[in-house]
Chain A
Amino acid sequence: MILQIRKREESLGWGVLVVYLGALALAFAVCAVLLALYGKPGLGGLLILFRGAFGQSYSLLDSLVKAIPIFLCSLGVALSFRMQIWNIGAEGQFALGAVGATFMALSFPGLPGFALMPLMFLAAMLAGGAWGLIPAVLRLKLGVSEIISSLMLNYIGILVLEFLVFGVWKDPASFGFPMTAEFASGGQIARMGPTLGLALGKLHWGLIACPLAGVAYSVFLSRTRLGFELAACGEGERVARYAQLPYGFLVLLVMGLGGALAGLAGSIETSAILGRLQPTVMAGYGYTAIVVAWLARLKPWPIAFTSFLLAALRVGVEVMELELQVPAAFGQIMEGGILLCVIAGQFFLSYSVSLKRPLPEADAVAKEERA
C-alpha cells in the first residue's frame, strides 16, 4: 500500500469548510488535553471558554472592541504577505503609532476633538509607517531579511514606548506608576453607547475605521493597477523584472501602509481604551494579526471574520483566567496551536491523498499473457 499525493486540479468548494473545522477541532482537542494535564477540566474548560466568548451580549461587544486593532493590523500584515514580504513588525508599528498619537495629545491638549483627533491619527500613521519603512529600506538596499529586522524593531519599539512613559512623559500625579497624563477630552475617542442611546459597553467610534480600511483594502487589490502589480510581484522578483513591475516601490508601499495601519490601531487603542499611554496598551495584537492574516488567506471578509473569532478567543481566555485560574498564556497556546493545525490542514486544500495498491502478482501475469 502506498500513499499517492496529487496536486488538485479543481478547488474543493465546501470541502474548505470541512478542512478548517477539522483543523480547529484538532487544535481545541490538544488544548483540552493540556488543560487536563494542568489539573483543570479539559472539556469543561473549553465550555467555559465558549460561554465566556459568546455567551453574553457584553462578551460579544467586548470581542468586537478587541477585534478592531486586530483587524487593522491584520490588513496591514496581509498586504505585505501578498508580496511574500514577511512583515512581522506590526507590534512595534502599533507601539510607535501609540507614541505618535500621544505626542500630539500631550502637545496640544487645548485643541477641540475635530482638530486633535485627525492630528493624532496622522501622527500615528506617520510614525507607524516610518517604523515599517525601516525594514523595507534595509531589504531593498542591502537584502537584509525583513523578518528579523522587523522583529527586532518590535522589541525596540516597545522599549521606546517604555522609555518615554517612564521618562519624559511620566505623569507627575501618577505616584510612580508608568503612565502619561490623561488625554484631554478632545483626544479621547468616545464610546458609541451614550451617543446612540444604546447599551453598547466599551464599543467606541474607532470601529468606523474598520469598514473604511476594509473597503479601501478590497478596492485597492481588486480594482487598481497597483493592486494588480502587487499580486503579480508575489510570484517573485524575476517576474517583476520581466513585466517591469515596480517591485521596489511596492515593497516600500506595503511596509509603509502596513505600518500606518498598525500605527492607526495603536492610536485608537490608546485613545479609546486607555485615554493615556501606558505599557499595558501592548497586548500582542500585532502577533495575533499575523495569525489572522494567514488563517484568512489574506482575503478581506475572512480577515474580518477571523479577527472577530480570535478576539472572542481572548475574551474567553480572560473568563477562564477568572473562573478557573488558568494562566493567561493559555491564549497564546491556543493561537499558536490553531495556526499550526490550520497550516497542516491547508495541505488538503491543494493536494489530494489516496491509498494505492500495486497490482498483485497474479493480475500482472494475466495481463502479460493477454498482451
Chain B
Amino acid sequence: MPERQYRTDISAVDVLPQVRLVDVTKRFGQVLANDGISLSIMPGRIKALLGENGAGKSTLMAMLAGRFPPDGGHIEVEGRRVDFASPREAIAAGIGMVYQHFMLVENMTVAENVLLGQEGGFVLHPAAMRRQVGELAERFGLGIDPGARVGDLSMGERQRVEILKLLYRESRVLIFDEPTAVLTPVEAESLFAALRTMSGQGKAIVFISHKLEEVLSLADEIAILRKGRIEGEFLASDVASPAYLARRMVGRDVVLDIERSAVDQGRQVLDVRHLSGAGLDDVSFGLKRGEILAIVGVAGNGQQQLVEVVCGLSRPESGEVDILGQHWAKFFQNRDWKGALAWIPEDRAGLATCRGLNLTDNLLLTTRQGFAQGQWLERSRARGAATDIVREHNVQPGNIEAQAWQLSGGNLQKFVLGRELYREPRLMVAEQPTQGLDVSATEAVWQRLLEARKTAGVLLVTGDLTEALTLADRVAVMFRGRVMGLFPVTDAAQVERIGSLMAGLKD
C-alpha cells in the first residue's frame, strides 16, 4: 500500500482560515450542547470532527449551516464576523452541508433538486437545467442522470446529488455529516477520492464521523469533540493508532471490551428456509437460544423486509419460516405477549413508542394482554411494573408520568429494552439498537442483549460492524436480499472479507 501523503506543507499561520468558530456555545433547555468551541477550518485541507453521538457535532454543524444562532461566541468567514439569520446567508457565505439524512425532494428530478433555491431567473427551462447539471456532473466525475427521479436513486447516487448541489453553488467549505453511513465500502472509497480531488482544488472539507479507521485514512487534521467541548486537535500524521483516538474520544479505553461469557445453546427459536420474495432472495439461517446472530450490510439490502417477515408484519411469499417451533402462520395467529417474540425496532420514537403517551401507557403498548382482565385494564398494576422497569434500567428522568417525547434517545431505548425484556421473550429481534446513543447507554444496551442470551436467541440487525463483532456469535452479511456469507465471528478470514461481501463481491 502506498504511503499516505500528509499535507503538512500548508502552514496554518500564513493562510487565513476559511471559517473560524470562536468560543461558540449553544444550550437546549438544560442541556449544554456546545461549550465554548473554537475551531479553524482551512482551505485545501480535510478536517475530521470525531465524536460520539451526543457530543454536540450535529448542533455545531447546524449553527454553521445557519439554522439557528449560537447562544454565545460567534462565527467568522474569511476573517470577518458573520451572524447568519437563515440558511440562505450561510449558503451565500460559501458554506455547504451534506446531511446524514439527505435533504432531497424524492418526487423531483436530480436537476430540479440541484437547482432548487438557486438564482437563475424566474422562468425555468427543464431541458437547459438537465444539460447544465449533466455537464457539472461530468466535470467532477460524478456519474448521474439529471432527469432521473431522486426517489428512484440508490443512496450512493443520492449522495452524489447532494455533492452536486454544493459544487453548483461553488461552496468553499463542504461539510459532510457521517457520509459513509449509507455507502458500501466500494462507494466509500470513490467518495474519498472525490473529496481528495476537491480538497486539492482548494475547497475546505470537514467531515463528521465516529468511525476511527475512516478518519485516519482520509483526514489531514482531526478534532475530537467530547461532551460539547473540543477535547483535542492534532494532525493525522501525529496519531499513533485508532486506540489512541478512541481513548481521547471517551476518556478511557473504550474499544469496548465487553465481558462476553459463554452461554449454553438451547433449542431452535428461529428457522428460516429459502425465504424469497419482496426484496429477499433465498435466505436461509437458523437461530438457537443462547446465541446472537448479527445481520450486517448496508441499509436497504433486505434487512427491513427480513425483519418484517420474522416479526409478523408481512407474510413470507415463498419458503418457510418457523418461529419457536411453529409455522409462521400458526405462530402469528395466537400471539402470546409473554415468552414469545419481542421486537425492538430501529425507529424508537416513531414506532416503538407513542410520543404523546406517558411511560405507563408505553409499557402497556406491547404488554397490555398481561394487564387486562377481559376488557378491564389494571392500570395501577401497570404503573407498578413501569416504576420497576424505570428503576432497574436506570431510565432518566425517573418519572413514569413523563411523556415519551421528553426522554432522550438513550433513555427511551433503555425503557424499550426494559419493556421488551419484561415480556420474557424467547426470540428477540433488535434493529440498530444503539444508533444515536452515547457510550454509557450503548454499554448498558449491549450488556442487556448479552444477558438476554440466557433465555432467548437474539437476531441483531445492525450496520455497525463493531457492534456486530463484539456481541454476536455468528454473522450473516446481506446484499440485495441475499445472504452473501454466514460464519462464526471467530473465523478471521471471513471477517476480513465482510467489506467485500457487503458490496456484493463473492470471489
Contacts and interface: CB of A to CB of B under 8 A. Distances in A.
Interface string A316-335: 00000000000000000000
A232 B354 contact: yes
A33 B497 CA distance: 77
Interface in B323-380: 335, 343, 345, 350-357, 361, 364-366, 368, 372, 374-377, 379
Nearest to A2: B69
Q: Which 10 A-B pairs have the closest CB atoms?
A: A235-B354, A225-B372, A224-B375, A243-B365, A242-B351, A225-B377, A225-B375, A232-B354, A371-B23, A243-B366
B443 interface: no
14 contacts: A223-B376, A224-B375, A225-B376, A225-B377, A228-B368, A232-B361, A232-B364, A235-B356, A235-B357, A242-B343, A244-B312, A358-B69, A367-B72, A368-B22
Contact of A359 (B72, B343, B355): B72
B23 A242 contact: no
Given A223-B376, A224-B376, A225-B372, A364 B354 contact: no
A232 B74 contact: no
Interface string A354-371: 000011000010011001
A287 B379 CA distance: 35
Interface string B27-48: 0010000001010000000000
Contacts of B351: 238-239, 242
Nearest to B28: A6
Contacts of B356: 234-235
B357 A232 contact: yes
A297 interface: no
B69 A367 contact: no
Contact of B73 (A9, A224, A228, A364): A364
Contacts of A231: 354, 357, 361
Given A229-B368, A231-B357, A239-B351, 19 more contacts: A9-B406, A223-B376, A224-B375, A224-B377, A225-B372, A231-B354, A232-B354, A232-B357, A232-B361, A236-B350, A238-B350, A238-B351, A239-B353, A241-B313, A242-B345, A242-B351, A242-B352, A244-B312, A358-B69
A226 interface: yes
Nearest to A227: B377
Interface string A1-37: 0100010010000000000000000000000000000
B74 A364 contact: yes
B335 A244 contact: yes
B83 interface: yes
Interface string A79-97: 0000000000000000000
Interface in A206-236: 222-229, 231-232, 234-236
B133 to A, nearest CB: 35
Interface of B: 22-23, 29, 36, 38, 69, 72-74, 83, 312-313, 335, 343, 345, 350-357, 361, 364-366, 368, 372, 374-377, 379, 406
A359 B351 CA distance: 41
B404 to A, nearest CB: 10
A309 to B, nearest CB: 27
Contacts of B73: 364, 367
Nearest to A245: B365
A239 B354 contact: yes
Contacts of A236: 350
Interface residues of A, number: 28
A231 B368 CA distance: 13
Contact of B23 (A243, A244, A367): A367
Nearest to B83: A358
A290 to B, nearest CB: 21
A7 to B, nearest CB: 8
A224 B378 CA distance: 9
A364 B74 CA distance: 8
Contacts of B38: 371
Nearest to A238: B351
B74 A225 contact: no
Contacts of B335: 244
A294 to B, nearest CB: 16
Given A6-B29, A224-B377, A364-B74, A232 B69 contact: no
A232 B312 CA distance: 20
Interface string A234-278: 111011011110000000000000000000000000000000000
Nearest to A364: B74
A232 B361 CA distance: 8
A232 B365 contact: yes
A242 B356 CA distance: 16
A239 B351 CA distance: 5
Contacts of B375: 224-226
Nearest to A359: B72
Interface in A54-103: none
A188 to B, nearest CB: 36
User: A231, A242, A359, A371: which has the most chain B beta carbons within 10 Å?
Assistant: A242
Contacts of A234: 354, 356
A364 B83 CA distance: 13
A228 B361 CA distance: 8
Contacts of B406: 9
Nearest to B354: A235
Nearest to A361: B81
Nearest to A242: B351
B368 A225 contact: yes
Contacts of A6: 29
A270 B271 CA distance: 63
A368 B20 CA distance: 13
A200 to B, nearest CB: 37
A364 B356 CA distance: 40
B364 to A, nearest CB: 6
Contacts of B22: 368
A238 B36 CA distance: 41
A358 B73 CA distance: 10
Contacts of A225: 368, 372, 374-377
A371 B36 contact: yes
Nearest to B378: A223
A225 B377 CA distance: 5
Nearest to B347: A238
A232 B358 CA distance: 11
A241 B343 CA distance: 12
A368 B361 CA distance: 49
A236 B353 CA distance: 11
Contacts of A224: 375-377
Contacts of B36: 371
Given A239-B354, A367-B73, A368-B22, A9 B361 contact: no
Nearest to B362: A232
Contacts of B372: 225
A6 B313 CA distance: 37
Contacts of A232: 354, 357, 361, 364-365
